[in-house]
Structure 1
Amino acid sequence: MTTDHDVELVLDFLNTLDLDRGTDVLDDPLAWRAWLAHRALTSGPPTHVRAVRAGLRAAVGGPPAPPPPPVGVRVELVAGIPRLAADDVTGAVLAAASRLAVLDEWERFKVCPADDCRWVFFDRSRNRSRTWCSMRVCGNREKARAWRERAKASL
């Protein structure tokens, strides 16, 4: 597994909840099964999956959530190389998150501060200073709002 694969898995999992659209992939059994099948993963108990997602979103700057229940992850030797392995989606996501934390990449996960967005993104900037999920959408909207407020105040 590569770092990019881990990043994409964690991002995709955290963004199964889309606050902007008011949708949750976990609420649609067909969409959830398709999400899992696309990644060759199996589901765990829905309450467990939601708890892990809420805990990880809280860990990257989302709303506070209680710590999720323990998840089974094991170490296997594959072709003489140790690797983290899991039986379901929550284990796979937490294994990916653990690999990224070991590589000091975990802090690059951020939640867009736009109240109508709250999308989780991965900050690939050199100095880790990116603020918005997208400068074209959320960043532009916020800068335009701030400019209007400054222009209004100067009248």
Structure 2
Amino acid sequence: MDDPRLVVDFLNTLDVEDDTDVLADEQAWRRWTAERGLMPSPSKEARGVRTALRAAAGDPDAAAGAVRAAIDVELGPEGPALVATGAVGAVLAAAARLAVLGDWKRVKICPADDCRWAFYDQSRNRSRTWCSMSVCGNREKARSWRKRAHSPE
């Protein structure tokens, strides 16, 4: 799995709109890791890392914090590689690779209060704001228009 997808999938284990949390259910967390070929880390550790990563990606509802995970650097024929045994380490290794490549700023959280979905901004100038322009962006534009249209001048 590529780094942006792994990080975004992990951040979206919390679904604000549907009020679900994969990390609140041990079986769901194990299923999530198995589907990605990862070894499950303790869910408490995963929750702390997810909160810190969501804060780093711009979620105003998440508290920033320092997190740790075991990650090794292996030197093979292809060169150095970050390797982790657990899911949390794999996610942090993916996030670190994005940061080193200057792509961490492309990981964003939708600003809609009823969404907060994580997404990877693939726009050329990194200016995408909404997870989906057709859903969240359109709703916000409609709200702004109604507010302007109905406010006395």
Normalised to the residue count of structure 1, the TM-score between the two structures is 0.92
Tell me the residue number matched to 2:39: 42
Q: Decide whether the 8 Å contact of 1:48 with 1:68 is kept in 2.
A: no
Deviation at 1:116, TM superposition (A): 0.3
Task: List alignment gaps of at least 5 residues for structure 1.
Answer: none
Which among 21, 24, 27 is matched to residue 18 of structure 2? 21
Q: How many residues align?
A: 152
Which among 81, 86, 89 is matched to residue 87 of structure 2? 89
Deviation at 1:80, TM superposition (A): 4.5
Q: Decide whether the 8 Å contact of 2:29 with 2:43 is kept in 1.
A: no
Which among 30, 50, 54 is matched to residue 51 of structure 2? 54
Deviation at 1:40, TM superposition (A): 0.7
Deviation at 1:47, TM superposition (A): 1.3
Question: SS state of the match for residue 76, structure 1?
Answer: strand
1:1-150 matches, within 5 Å, as 5-62=2-59, 63-150=61-148
Q: Deviations over 1:83-140 (max 9, x none)?
A: 0000101110010011111110000111111000011111111111111000010000
Question: SS state of the match for residue 139, structure 1?
Answer: helix
CA gap 1:64/1:28 in 2 versus in 1, 3 angstroms: closer
Instruction: Write the distance in 1 (CA, Å) between the matches of 2:130 and 2:67.
Output: 31
User: For the aligned residues, what is the CA RMSD?
Assistant: 1.5
Percent of pairs with identical residues = 58
Give, as a single letter, the amino acid of the residue that structure 2 aligns with 1:37: A
